[in-house]
Structure 1
Amino acid sequence: MASLLAIVPFTPGGLGIIEGVLIPGLIGFGVPGGVAVLGVVSWRLFQFWAPIPVAGLCYLSLRTPGWRDRIPARTPC
């Protein structure tokens, strides 16, 4: 249900919508409230925010002059 609601383009990536559906859903299945909040927030942190710095580092590695010269080229066997 949370993934279907995330498709609706009200917020980028379903921020707030997914959390608002997953936390009560997990609590409804018997997960303690603190564990449900911690699990959903940590999952969203990695799922939504972690790719941003990784993409930034990838972009900088492509834009930095001479970066590829520091890595030795592989020779085919």
Structure 2
Amino acid sequence: MLIQCTKTLLDKLGIKDSELTSSEGYGEFPKSFFAWHANFVSIDRRKASILMNNETRYPICHHHSCLVGRMCILFREFNN
């Protein structure tokens, strides 16, 4: 699974550019089905993260306080 984050979301998660991996190979189906773009936004003064699947363009919006903790755990697992 590949999650391509905006700089804003990377800063919120505390991930440095040196910790990122290449997105090479995720441009063609079926791997593109497992590739997502993620962004950090403020909606009605609430922090939220929006993810969009690269292949289906399916969006997911989640309240930020719940998602950041889960994504931090997820990224730590990916780094190990």
Write 1 or 2 for the structure with the bigger share of helix: 1
Is TM-score (shorter-chain normalized) higher than 0.5? Answer: no
TM-score (norm 1): 0.34
Question: Which structure dedicates a bigger proportion of its chain to strand?
Answer: 2
Greater C-alpha radius of gyration: 1
